Amino acid sequence: MKAAVRHRAGSAGAAWRRRLANAALCASLLVSAGASATAGDEATGTTRIYHGARVIDGTGAPAREGLSIVVRDGRIVALVPDADAPDGEHIDVRGLHALPGLIDTHVHLATPPDTARAEALLRRQLYGGVTTVRSMADDLRAVGELARRSRVGEIPAPDIVYAALMAGPGFFDDPRTAAVSRGGVPGQVPWMQAIDEDTDLPLAVAMARGTSAGGIKLYADLPAAVVARITAEAHRQGVPVWAHAAVFPAMPAEVVRAGVDVLSHVCPLGYEVSGYQPQAYRDPAPVDASAFEDGMPEAMVALFADMAARGTVLDATNRVYVEHVRQYARDGLGRPPRCDVELTYRLSRQAYHQGVAISAGTDGETEADAPFPALHDELEILAGPVGMTPEDVIAAATRVAARALGQEAEIGTLAPGKLANLVFVAGDPLQDVAHLREVVLTVKRGVPYPRSDYVPVAGQVPVAAD
């Protein structure tokens, strides 16, 4: 990673050096103004004006030059030409590119709970430009406390939206369910419930809501009829439903027809056309790659068309399959990969070309000595082998991601009234999304976090790779 940054700096010449100078100036202004991140800072009434930015607002509109972003009480008040900026604490960000804070739509923070590890990874995410994450089923007692501490400014971390999990009874002898249900019975705690045809679904959904979960995740061992009933009841109670692409025995098209809001994991979509379709989560049979030898099967085209028409978001998580293939090739341990890397990319490409909304989720993390979180890897996969335009990659981590979380009214674009969640980067991500790694400053709920303050994960706590 460091070598790549040095190469980019050398090739950019004087322009890159000017950006570094602006970065240093920005950091020094924040320090001299006393603008370090502090609990409750969003509510002080201070008006901060980020002056001179090139704004990429996340809506898909062209970038705009020379704008001032006016922030007060944790929210964006206005985006105005620099000449029209009001009085207040001016922070010079000329030469930097301002975007909505990035969103990772698939993380795990407490399986099992490890507070020191979670806080170290969350800190890296925030200083890496990530201002919101979606935690996709963990011990919600621990995640709820992390979410509270982040929200009130006790720890530097993204905001956390989290899921309560539902699955069939057969899933709950998985050792992970015991790890996140200690003190209770797996499948019988509000954040992780076993569901069958006889379950009182209004009560089960209400129990999940009582955890303050932002959505319900459907994981495994649920037939299509039960998936549809859970989804209908959750929507009746105003709760989004986030499902695995295949919930075994429910296949992808059945899950989509049930009306779920978000599907996670692109690879299992391929089971729709597999000659053998697993009937339970534990069945290790991979997607039948031979079904794709003669091109994209008509049933897959129809599936993606249905997802696009319904507005179903695909939380693709390409990176986790790339990592699984790499690790399995290295040590041969555990379950074999469900998809090879090229099939994973092909499915994502097809979804994208058919207009399916894709959000950027990771379902894994980089090593402790990596300077940036895994979201940047996923974004570069979307821009590279998947072939998304830089504009659409940015949307996957901002506007579409906010929609996946059910938070589009608050985050995902830069607009008056929305939370002041921003990231300022030195290079132009519309030219190359790798420039999103050139973070100079992250602002979350109006609180600035200069990248120069970042402490590497490895310097805080030993963190093993997932």
Whether 123 and 67 share a structural domain: no
Q: Is residue 256 part of a domain?
A: yes
Q: What is the CATH number of the domain that holds 21?
A: 2.30.40.10
Whether 96 and 113 share a structural domain: no
Q: What is the pLDDT of residues 425-455, one digit of tens each?
A: 999 999 999 999 999 999 999 999 999 999 9
Q: What is the CATH number of the domain that holds 225?
A: 3.20.20.140
Q: What is the pLDDT of residues 246-280, one digit of tens each?
A: 999 999 999 999 999 999 999 999 999 999 999 99
pLDDT band at 13 (very low <50, low <70, confident <90, very high): very low
**Residue 37, pLDDT score:** 46
Mean pLDDT check: name the lowest of 6-20, 105-119, 438-452: 6-20
User: What's the pTM value of the predicted model, to 2 decimals?
Assistant: 0.92
| Spatial separation of the C-alpha atoms in residues 141 and 180, rounded to whole Å | 9
- Give 459 or 171, the one with higher predicted confidence: 171
Decide if 73 contacts 446 (C-beta within 8 A). Answer: yes
| Spatial separation of the C-alpha atoms in residues 449 and 213, rounded to whole Å | 27
Q: What is the pLDDT of residues 271-298, one digit of tens each?
A: 999 999 999 999 999 999 999 999 999 9
Whether 198 and 341 share a structural domain: yes
Q: Is residue 26 part of a domain?
A: yes
Helix (H) or strand (E) holding 193: strand 192-194
Whether 65 and 135 share a structural domain: no
Q: Is residue 409 part of a domain?
A: no
Q: Is residue 464 part of a domain?
A: no
| The two structure tokens encoding residue 330 | 């290295």
pLDDT band at 44 (very low <50, low <70, confident <90, very high): low
Whether 210 and 150 share a structural domain: yes
| Spatial separation of the C-alpha atoms in residues 362 and 349, rounded to whole Å | 17
Q: Is residue 446 part of a domain?
A: yes
Q: What is the pLDDT of residues 219-236, one digit of tens each?
A: 999 999 999 999 999 999
User: Of 404, 424, 447, which one is at a domain's C-terminal end?
Assistant: 404
Whether 427 and 400 share a structural domain: no
Whether 126 and 239 share a structural domain: yes
Whether 364 and 453 share a structural domain: no
pLDDT band at 15 (very low <50, low <70, confident <90, very high): very low
Mean pLDDT check: name the lowest of 13-27, 58-72, 202-216, 397-411: 13-27
Structural domains in the chain (count):
2
For residue 219, count CB atoms less than 10 angstroms from its CB and return exposed for 0-12, middle for 13-18, buried for 19 or more.
Answer: buried
Q: Is residue 368 part of a domain?
A: yes
Give the residue numbers spanning the domain of 56. 2-100+414-459
Whether 446 and 363 share a structural domain: no
Q: How many CB atoms lie within 10 A of CB 181?
A: 19
Whether 371 and 453 share a structural domain: no
Whether 350 and 426 share a structural domain: no
Whether 62 and 96 share a structural domain: yes
Distance from first CA to last CA of the chain, Å, rounded? 19
